[in-house]
Copies of this chain bind each other. A is one copy, B any other.
Amino acid sequence: MGRPKKEHSLSRQDVIAAAIAGIDQDGAAALGVSRVARRLGIKPPAIYKHLENGAALQRATAITLWERYLTECQQTLADRPITTDLLKQLGHFTRNFAKTYPGRYQVMMQVQLQPQDPEPSVIIHKLLAFLRQALSDYTLTDTQLIDVMRMVNAAIYGFIAIEQAGLMTIERSPDESYEVMLAGLLSAIATISKNSE
């Protein structure tokens, strides 16, 4: 058999969509050439017509997941009043996201993006803009904002990673620890803000 009808042929986006569906269903391990091909009903080599190789499939999928996460995040928090509380809500949104889609979260974390691609920096700048909004109460210089973004992201993503790795077996509710951490981050931001005056 040769090339099928146009309407039945696949696009790069279809492949990525299938990859994400697989991740949701079977976890991050489903993100591979064979698994995705099987899910699409094609043979593994056909994947290479749409993406350079397996690593490219992983990167492209991770980038798409980051973008979806960001837009979903913005949509969810769009209506809320812009207060410092927004940071806490960002924290909760992210943790809920990770609980709802553990596979997606794992992929977003462990697939390392190449700085050569333009997408990662776009994502970072979007995140930066979003945080600037959420932290408009504090007077922060541009560099301080970067520092704060790095700290907030590190804390949130680190916390969830540790939680998902099964390292919170000790007797203390992760929910409450998370709440304490988010509050702590706010006071840390306040301190950083004061340093600029």
Residue positions of A touching B, CB distance < 8 A: 109-110, 112-115, 120-121, 124, 128, 143-144, 146-147, 150-151, 153-159, 161-162, 164-170, 172, 174, 176-177, 180-181, 183-185, 187-192
Contacts and interface: CB of A to CB of B under 8 A. Distances in A.
22 contacts: A109-B165, A112-B164, A112-B165, A113-B166, A113-B167, A114-B166, A120-B166, A143-B172, A150-B168, A150-B181, A151-B155, A154-B155, A154-B159, A155-B158, A157-B161, A158-B158, A180-B192, A184-B191, A185-B188, A187-B188, A187-B190, A188-B188
Main SS of chain A's interface residues?
Answer: helix
Given A110-B110, A162-B157, A187-B188, A151 B169 contact: no
Given A113-B167, A124-B167, A189-B184, A153 B147 contact: no
Contacts of A190: 187
A148 to B, nearest CB: 8
